[in-house]
Amino acid sequence: MSTNVILLGPPGAGKGTQAKTLAEQTSLSHVASGDLFRAALRDGTELGMLAKSYMERGELVPDEVVINMILEHIQAPDCAAGVIFDGFPRTREQAVALEESMAQHQSKIDVVLYLSVPNDVLLRRIAGRQTCKTCGATYNTYYFPCHRPGICDACGGKLYQRSDDSHETAQHRLDVYFAQTMPLIEYYQRQGILHEIDGQREIVWVNEMMLKALDQYLPTSV
């Protein structure tokens, strides 16, 4: 039996940071739709080209494209123990498609961890976000700055800002989240699998709450 978890929350809630840590602590595989699109863009694939204009505008890539990409990706052997979904699903259509596909494979979503963060904090979190080109470590110029500007503390690599993290695009991504993704909170609440966690608290505290919520679903304790 696999364990499948969705990290739900607005852009800037800390889903990526938390998902990475959870994946290291468990046997679950971290599947981030945004990362898959960025990798496709870097590799210059057809999928990357298709997603590019949507991403640059802070719009959602069409459901059909995202659904096909994710459902294919989770068939890989490294997803057999289960998946931490990060950034997917983002619409009701995506949620339904995921559910149907999992049911076909005698699987299901066990828990949805909803990271709630007040709106005013989100913009600073997104617009201040910096990522290391070499090791992928993330920083924030407001909340978690690196010691030498633009240089990764962990590996000395160069830091960059995602092109869709500019102030204007960030605001639009938040608007898109409120309109299209927020209804999923109620959707999963009705299924009785939503678990809300205060995403404003420290990273370590949030991680502990997540592990607690997952405890009964994980095959081996961490």
Task: Tell me how far, at minimum, the Cβ of 17 lies from ligand AMP, in Å.
Answer: 12
Q: Count of residues binding ligand AMP (CB under 6 A)?
A: 18
Question: What residues between 174 and 203 interact with ligand AMP by CB under 6 A?
Answer: none
Nearer to ligand AMP, 125 or 173 (CB): 173
125 assigned ligand-binding residue: no
Question: What residues between 153 and 172 interact with ligand AMP by CB under 6 A?
Answer: 164
Task: Tell me how far, at minimum, the Cβ of 4 lies from ligand AMP, in Å.
Answer: 15
Residues forming the active site: 15, 90, 129, 162, 173
Q: Residues of 25-56 as b/e, b for ≥16 C-beta within 10 angstroms?
A: ebebbbbbbbebbbebbeeeeebbeebeebbe
Q: Is residue 9 near ligand AMP by the rule CB under 6 A?
A: no
Annotated binding site for ATP: 12-17, 129, 138-139, 201
| Positions in the binding site for ligand AMP (CB under 6 A) | 11, 33-34, 37, 54-55, 58-61, 66, 87-90, 94, 164, 173
